[in-house]
Amino acid sequence: MIRTSIRRLATATALAATVCGVAAFTVTAAAEPTPSAGRAATTSVVATAAERVDRDRPNPYAFLPRVPSFRLWSRTVSNGSPLPKAQWSGVFGVPGGKDISPQLSWSGFPARTRSFVISMYDPEAPTGSGFWHWIVADVPASTRNLPADAGAPGGKNLPAGAFQLNGDAGMPRYIGAAPPAHSGVHDYYITVTALDVPSTGLNADTSGALLGFTIDSHTIARATLLCPTPAP
């Protein structure tokens, strides 16, 4: 009798865990909106980000308040494709890496935008907190594009008033991809965030996490190019 009761309890517990697991997955999968067919190209970026949930991979923006997207494109990188070798890191010793930030263009952001933040982030970096490869703050609202290599040291190709944060490499510049060998696919999120303030009030020594916390309540739109890149 006792053994039968134990078996029944174990079965009930397993079923409950299964139901809870399914419910949790359903809620998580619904965290990103499902775009309708025929919308602008950037909505496919949202769809791609949502697919990370289906693959059980982290989407760093799924935990933030939902905001509208807008159009973001590049002549250097392609959404859904690996980063080209020039966008990998020679500084970190990657053969052929040149640490050249990608060319970016954007449009369709809210009219009340007063500045932008531009970043590249790898949530799969083996640090426990991901890795900020590039962060540019206080980009004027009049800016519609950045040329390739705008992330060079010194920021000479950045618009007036914009500046680069040190990022997780401790250098105020673009640092390219450098995924450790055999560490699988790394999802590089190249993001333009529209803010309703003209300045973050921060400086180059600010961490990526503190910047994210600071701009959270001022974010009114966000567009992302996702570049899943296999490690060597």
Q: Where are the beta strands (DSSP E) in 123-161?
A: 131-140, 145-146
Please state the separation of Cα 192 from the chain's center in Å.
Answer: 9
| The model's pTM | 0.77
Average pLDDT in the 98-119 region? Answer: 98
Q: Provide the sign of the torsion angle of the four alpha carbons 198, 177, 74, 96, taken in this order.
A: positive
Cβ atoms within 10 Å of 171's Cβ, excluding its own: 15
> Does residue 108 carry a pLDDT above 60?
yes
Locate 147 and state its tokens: 């040329």
Q: What is the mean pLDDT of the chain?
A: 82
The per-residue pLDDT for 210 is 97
The model's confidence at residue 23, banded by pLDDT at 50, 70 and 90, is very low
The answer for residues whose C-beta is within 8 angstroms of residue 228's C-beta and 6 or more apart is 80, 81, 82, 185, 186, 187, 188
> Does residue 22 carry a pLDDT above 50?
no
> Does residue 115 carry a pLDDT above 70?
yes
Look up residue 29 and give its DSSP letter.
H
What span, in angstroms and rounded, lies between the C-alpha atoms of 151 and 128?
A: 25
> Does residue 151 carry a pLDDT above 90?
yes
The per-residue pLDDT for 56 is 67
Q: Tens digits of per-residue pLDDT, 66-106?
A: 999 999 999 999 999 999 999 999 999 999 999 999 999 99
The per-residue pLDDT for 212 is 97
Q: Tens digits of per-residue pLDDT, 33-53?
A: 333 233 333 333 433 343 443
- Taking Cα atoms as reference points, which of 216, 220, 223 lies closest to residue 106? 223
